Amino acid sequence: MKFFNKEKRIKYLAFNDIWFMLTGIILLSFITDFLFSGGSFSRLPFVEAAINWSVSLIFSTVNWLVMRAILIALRKKYPSLKDNVKRIPLFFLSIVVTVMAVDYAGNMTLGFIFGNNYNHPLRSKLIVPIILISTMTMAIYEAMYYYIRLKRSIRHEEQAKRAIVQAQLDTLRNQAQPHFFFNTLNTLRDIIDQNTREEAKEFVNRLSEMYRFILESGNTNLIVLQDELKFAQAYIHIQKERFGENLQVNWTISESEKDKLIIPMSLQLLLENAVKHNVISKAKPLKVNVYMENGKLIVRNRIQPKSTQLPTTKLGLKNIEGRYALISDKQVSITSENGHFEVKLPLLTIAEQKTPDASTHH
């Protein structure tokens, strides 16, 4: 039966109302007894007072159970919050009808049992207070229902937003991987053309190590800076197979900062952009500085544009900006002035994530 089924009670009432109902019925019975008898226990012998109060208890129980059953029926028919405008007026009307019907039927039954001794001269006038008290009691059900459903609605909306954010993050993260793969294959082609077979084999070995890192961090939104540095340094090692000392990267990173969090592959993408868009030669070696300042990881290099610029979609920078915007309120800073290109990546903590359920790789 639905009355005894906890899941059904929670489904239609939004909470388990057993204790609320038992407490409410007893309280309502004492209020009813006070209205009709002026408080039986304060002016009658205990046995007579108990009998008198038990009548109020029966009325209160029947009223409560009937109104509760109607409430459940209305919620089954009008379950949505937007149906309040239909459900609440109907429920109030049902309270009025229930109180009057139970009072009439109970009065007739008790009058038949006890005779005219039971009929109260002011009984009809006391129906209105009983209706008001019943309405206020049932209003608690409505308030609880509205509060819990609203909370549930907000939670579902937040979960939906998180799902959308996570899908966007997955898209950006997956976008970065083929971008990296495409550029490293181009580098491998150049090494095969210009270097020995052994150097090409060493490049492939390093590349496999990097892809192992990508696979291990493939489902994470943030990664420890120390791990990202290892990945970026492995990438630079591969590039130095091609450019030698013409590519110079200066790392100035405090050990105390290496446990901070950063977007995976972000540093590597910045270094990749520097290699892709600048001249790297013996006459013009490319110097890239990677250092810390005010809680940010900074990548800075002199702009040495190639005579024939490759078409660019700025995919790497857009990717990094997009992932930071989804995960944190801290923004990526990109500047190009005084002949230098500079990008500042905020270092984060777990508490600074926008999405609490986002995974983090340590």
Beta carbons within 8 Å of 91's beta carbon, 6+ residues apart? 70, 71, 74, 138, 142
**Which has more pLDDT, 35 or 8?**
35
17 band by pLDDT with thresholds 50, 70 and 90: confident
Residue 159's pLDDT is what? 65
**Which has more pLDDT, 50 or 122?**
50
Tell me: the pLDDT tens digits for 296-328?
Answer: 999 999 999 887 765 565 667 887 888 888 788
When mean pLDDT is compared across 2-6, 145-149, 193-197, 322-326, the lowest value belongs to 2-6
Residue 2's pLDDT is what? 47
Distance CA 90, CA 93 (A): 5
User: Residue 209 pLDDT > 70, yes or no?
Assistant: yes
- CA dihedral in degrees (221, 226, 227, 230; nearest 10)? 140
Residue 115's pLDDT is what? 62
Tell me: the pLDDT tens digits for 133-156?
Answer: 888 888 888 888 888 878 877 877
- What average pLDDT does the segment 37-43 reach? 77
Tell me: the pLDDT tens digits for 91-110?
Answer: 899 989 988 888 888 778 77
- CA dihedral in degrees (159, 160, 165, 167; nearest 10)? 110
Looking only at the bridges linking them, the beta strands covering 247-252 and 261-262 are unpaired
The H-assigned helical ranges of 84-126 are 84-114
